[in-house]
Structure 1
Amino acid sequence: MAGKHALNIVKMKKMKQDGIPLAMITAYDYPSAQLAEEAEADMLLVGDSLGNVVLGYDSTIPVTLDDMVYHTRSVARGAQNTFIVADMPFMTYHGSIDETLRNVRRLMQEGHAQAVKMEGGAEIAMAVQAIVQAGVPVLGHIGLTPQSVNQIGGYRVQGKDAKDARRLLEDAKALERAGAFGVVLELVTEEVATAITKELSIPTIGIGAGRGCDGQVLVYHDVLKYTPEYREKRFVKTYADIGTQIRKGISEYVKEVKGRAFPAQEHVFAAEEGVLDNLYGKGKVETR
């Protein structure tokens, strides 16, 4: 968007201090990124949720680093004045530090992201610290972590009891100490998310984590019902139903093609006089 200046991690921390909420939305390609930037979203997340909503997988686990680089690069072309965060996909930051940094390098140099997002808490703090020390901003992600869905027993709300609340707080603080510039809290009880937000000096961004976070993030396809079979989610508010409009539009197109209503006169181009004589020979009649 002309005249817009991308946020940076210093400005985001200042927004937390000033009580100004951060509005983040996912994007997976050039047009969605361009539209989100024009709508003045603060940040774009190229989430590995693209596995579910774009690539047709049942989870985020099959998403590869090549997938993330490809889609991040497309988003970067569409939103050149918006802060872009790219997900580190499954098992790309649990090996050696050297391997992790190579994977981060690809998202930054080839994908043109401004930051990376990583799922996990204290157990990934060393990797987060190494990435930050290498000069790359890191956004943490705790609570429901989709890459670990098989381990945590499904898509369950986190922070329902005191023990789990304490674990989440400790994970958030570990990420802050490691240098993360913010933390996504997914499917966390509102009370716990609010308490974590107050304890941290870095912004929290909620998704299904209530009203006390410093910002919110939602999936592009959920906000717009951009899917053939939309499944309602309690923590999501949809603001438009483009899925229905797309289906209706394509149906009308197919109907008009079948009925020879499209293309109509206004959609065709006329040749200059005499062209058919030169094509078929003067006096000849085209036969089919």
Structure 2
Amino acid sequence: MNKKMTITSIQKTKGVRPLVMITAYDALFAKLLEPSSDMILVGDSLNMSFAGKSDTLSATMEQMMYHTKAVCSGAKNSFVVCDMPFGTYVNKEDALANAIRVFQETSADCVKIEGGEDKADIIEHLTSNAIAVCGHIGLLPQSVRSEGGYKVKGKTEKERLQLIEDAKAVEKAGAFCMVIEGVKAEVAFEVAKSVDIPVIGIGAGAGVDGQVLVFSDMLGLFEEFTPKFVKKYMDGAALVKDAIKNYADEVKMREFPKEEHTY
């Protein structure tokens, strides 16, 4: 069994080796992912991957709490990150109350907050009240409707400078690491170099301090679309469909169950 990562050991990977983060939403997959991952993210992406929604905005605290509990149960030796869903950290008071719920009712090791300079005061309020925070800058899925879609960041000098300021603000506010999403690779590299905490990329090139992918994307289980930054490590959907067809065929032909499957 791998030794569980801590905030200290995660921070010590900076400049030493890349961090491996993978999403999970249930105990079954969390247990499968645990041996190879440093951190497991219970992402609000679950509403897209498994609830058939077009974005993440409909995820609720109740959903995130349920799935975080399940992941913690399945991967007891993993560092678990709980996404704070849309609308649950619009001000300091709500953010702290909801984060306290996560810490009291689950075994999550930290919460994740989307936003840079604009959320620094909220991150600082949480970290000053014993809540560990993973930041999230760049493309923010919870802002997809207000921004008119998923737009890659870092294309202009203004965006480059803002991303660096966002990273520094998140670090100063007390976050121990951060995710950077959908950012031009050369800019993400510069952002990672501008702070002393690990910067974990998704669609942000290889020059950052780690990578995160949604497990259903990387395993080829999610068929609706595949983002450019996703590499499919297996054609999971085809494998599952083939297995289910084999099962259905055997049932129809009375080849299953056989004697060895019968009491």
TM-score (norm 1): 0.89
1:284 corresponding residue in structure 2: none
2:29 corresponding residue in structure 1: 32
Note the C-alpha offset of 1:111: 2.4
Map of 2:248 onto structure 1: 254
1:14-29 matches, within 5 Å, as 14-17=12-15, 19-29=16-26
* C-alpha separation in 2, matches of 1:109 and 1:184: 24
| Correspondence for 2:207 among 203, 207, 212 | 212
Deviations 1:259-280 (A, max 9, x none): 22222222223xxxxxxxxxxx
1:12 alignment partner in structure 2: 10
Q: For each residue in 1:43-84, what CA deviation from the matched residue of structure 2 results, as whole angstroms up to 9, or x when unmatched?
A: 000000001002221110000000000000000011111110
The separation in 2 between residues aligned to 1:26 and 1:267, in whole angstroms, is 35
Alignment of 1:112-191 (within 5 A): 112-191=107-186
Amino acid at match of 1:206: G
CA drift of 1:149 comes to 0.4
Counterpart selection for 1:231 from 201, 210, 225: 225
1:234 and 1:128 map into 2 onto residues whose CA distance is 30
**Structure 2 counterpart of 1:116, one-letter code:** V
Partner SS state of residue 20, structure 2: strand
Partner residue, 2:63: 67
Moved over 6 A (4+): none
Partners of 2:260 and 2:4 lie apart in 1 by 43
**SS in structure 1 of the partner of residue 12 of structure 2:** helix
What is the rounded CA distance, in whole Å, between the counterparts of 1:123 and 1:266 in structure 2? 62
Distance 2:118 2:201 in 1: 21
Greater Cα offset, 99-108 or 86-95: 99-108
Corresponding letter in the other structure for 2:256: F
Question: Is 2:255 aligned against 1:265?
Answer: no
Give the gaps of 5 or more residues in structure 2: none
Percent of residue pairs bearing the same amino acid type: 46
Distance 2:48 2:138 in 1: 19
Let me know the Cα RMSD of the aligned residues. 1.1
| Cα distance in structure 2, aligned partners of 1:87 and 1:192 | 25
State the Cα deviation string for residues 90-128 of structure 1 (Å, max 9, x = none): 010003x22211100121221221000010111111110
Partner Cα separation in structure 2 for residue 186 and residue 49 of structure 1: 13
Which deviates further from its counterpart, 259-268 or 26-35? Answer: 259-268
74-83 vs 105-114, which moves further: 105-114
Partner SS state of residue 47, structure 2: helix
Q: Distance in 2 between matches of 1:162 and 1:266?
A: 67
Amino acid at match of 1:233: P
* Distance (Å, rounded) in 1 between the aligned partners of 2:95 and 2:60: 14
Shift of 1:230: 4.7
Counterpart check, 1:44 vs 2:43: no
Q: Could you say what secondary structure the match of 2:183 adopts?
A: coil
Once residues 28 and 12 of structure 1 are traced to their aligned partners in structure 2, the CA distance between those partners, rounded to angstroms, is 22
Q: Distance in 1 between matches of 2:50 and 2:104?
A: 23
1:222 aligns with 2:212: no
Between structure 1 and structure 2, the one with the greater Rg is 1
Work out whether 1:53 is the aligned partner of 2:49.
yes
